[in-house]
Amino acid sequence: MDSIFDRAVQKGFRALDRIHGQIDNRSVEVLSDEELEKHFHKGKETILYVGIRYDYGKKNWGLSYEHYQFFETLLNMGYSLIYFDYDRISQRFGITKTSQILREAAYVYHPDILFYFHFHDWIEHYVWKEISNDLPTKTIVMLADDHWRYKETKTVWKMFNLVVTTDSKGFERRLKEGFANVFLTQWACNHFLYKNLGLPKRYDASFVGRCYGERKSFVETIKKRGINIAAFGLGWPNGGRVSQADIIRIYNESKISLNLSRASSGDKIQIKGRDFEAVGCGSLLLTRSSKEIEEYFIPDEEIVTYRDANEASEKIAYYLKNADERERIAKKGYERLLREHTMEKRFLSILHSAEDVKKKQ
């Protein structure tokens, strides 16, 4: 079942569909031609990328995580790429016409792959079914927050050739329920964007992210230990959303980058994008101890982990005093990331799995 939020948004969009049609009377064919961003390279596979362009679909918040990590990575990988930024398109034309534009694009451009990162249910389901079942296009849906959105998104993800999740329990649950076309992956770093720039370190420790839940008290505990930690993002004294340029610079200028790993909904300890992005900028990562993170980095050799705010404070103090050890661990983490944990490598694995799934169907 769709979430209450999704149903309310869909109702609002459909109520506006008639208005949109009166304001912009261009045909679906013309909209598909004129509204979609296209990057064609002769002889390369074509990917129809469906994702949100703006952070949480809000233009005034800046560009989204998905834009920087997924779209920009695929663009740099040299695929022929069609950008279907369905937040912008649906807000402008409504759900009905947006769905028609997507269907048109699938038939006109004959993509080898459709990669969809699910944010909200803003595409009519007949389009997903038609592309997945009737066309040779391999359809992939990637899900975030699968640990609490599993049921909510089921009506969507069951229509795709391949479901991609970062949640191991969601992965196992689908297999138990007989849905075999599922692939377990994890966040990573777009190494085309996040780079070690060799900048001087101006922050002893930093945290980048919104201020909510336990985050405020956690940072305050560290400060009470006399540690100079700077926190950036909405709700912190430094204020406001942090631009990509500033995120890259903050990570580069931080001796130690702290990750607070609790999910925004529920009590799950969740691997975050910053677990990889900070490492990709050459900073020492200090993140919450978990079995999951140990699958990607070796604690005390490539990253450092903590169990609570007190231990995090102790480890920050230790590694500020032991610069050689800190830099050695940061360097090993950076090398591991480039070998195994770039978004490019994640995509190559996902696309290979999709190829195998489509052959079996």
- DSSP letters spanning 226-255: T--EEEESTTSTT-SPPPHHHHHHHHHTEE
CATH number of 4-188+349-356: 3.40.50.2300
Evaluate if residue 88 carries a pLDDT over 80: yes
How confident is residue 359, by pLDDT bands cut at 50, 70 and 90? low
Domain with CATH 3.40.50.2000 in the chain: 203-341
- Of 283, 234, 285, 241, the C-alpha closest to 261 is 285
Helix (H, G, I), strand (E, B) or coil at 191: coil
Is the confidence at residue 245, as pLDDT, over 80?
A: yes
**Residue 239: predicted pLDDT:** 77
Determine contact, residues 243/331, Cβ cutoff 8 Å. Answer: no
* pLDDT tier at 358, thresholds 50, 70, 90: low
Mean pLDDT value of segment 284-308? 97
Has residue 250 got a pLDDT over 70? yes
Burial of 119 from C-beta contacts in 10 A (0-12 / 13-18 / 19+): middle
Q: What is the mean pLDDT of residues 314-332?
A: 98
- Cβ-contact 274, 209 below 8 angstroms: yes
Q: Is the model's pLDDT at 330 over the cut of 60? A: yes
Tokens linked to 173: 């649950």
CATH 3.40.50.2300 maps onto the chain at 4-188+349-356
pLDDT tens-digit map of 121-165: 999 999 999 999 999 999 999 999 999 999 999 999 999 999 999
Whole-number Å distance between alpha carbons of 320 and 228: 10
Share of the chain above pLDDT 90, in %: 86
| Mode of pairing for the β-strands spanning 304-306 and 254-258 | unpaired
Per-residue pLDDT at 1: 42
Q: What is the pLDDT averaged over residues 272-278?
A: 96
Confidence band for 336, pLDDT divided at 50, 70 and 90: very high
pLDDT over 70 at 4, yes or no: no
Which pLDDT band, with edges at 50, 70 and 90, does 360 fall under?
low
| pLDDT of 238 above 50 | yes
Residues 140 and 45: beta-carbon distance below 8 Å:
no
pLDDT at 57 over 60: yes
> Is the distance from CB of 183 to CB of 161 less than 8 angstroms?
no
Q: Mark 84-117 as b/e (b = at least 16 C-beta within 10 Å).
A: bbbbbbbbebbbbbbbbbbbbbbeebebbbbbbb
How much of the chain is in helix, strand and coil states, percent to nearest 5? 50, 20, 35
Lowest-pLDDT choice from 89-98, 111-120, 183-192, 262-271: 262-271
Rounded-to-integer distance, Cα 318 and Cα 309, Å: 14
Is the per-residue pLDDT at 207 higher than 90?
A: yes
Residue 16 has pLDDT above 90, yes or no: no
| pLDDT given for residue 66 in this prediction | 97
Using alpha carbons, list the distances in angstroms from residue 209 to 41, 133, 215.
Answer: 37, 40, 9
Query: In the sheet where 203-208 sits, what is the strand order?
Result: 229-232, 203-208, 254-258, 284-288, 304-306
Structure tokens at 316: 């920050």
Contact between 253 and 323 (Cβ < 8 Å):
no
Domain 203-341 has CATH 3.40.190.10: no
Token pair 């592309």 is found at 131
Asked if pLDDT for residue 20 goes beyond 60, the answer is: no
Calculated CA dihedral for residues 71, 351, 103, 150, nearest 10 degrees: -90
pLDDT of residue 11: 62
Neighbouring CB atoms inside 10 A of 232's CB total 21
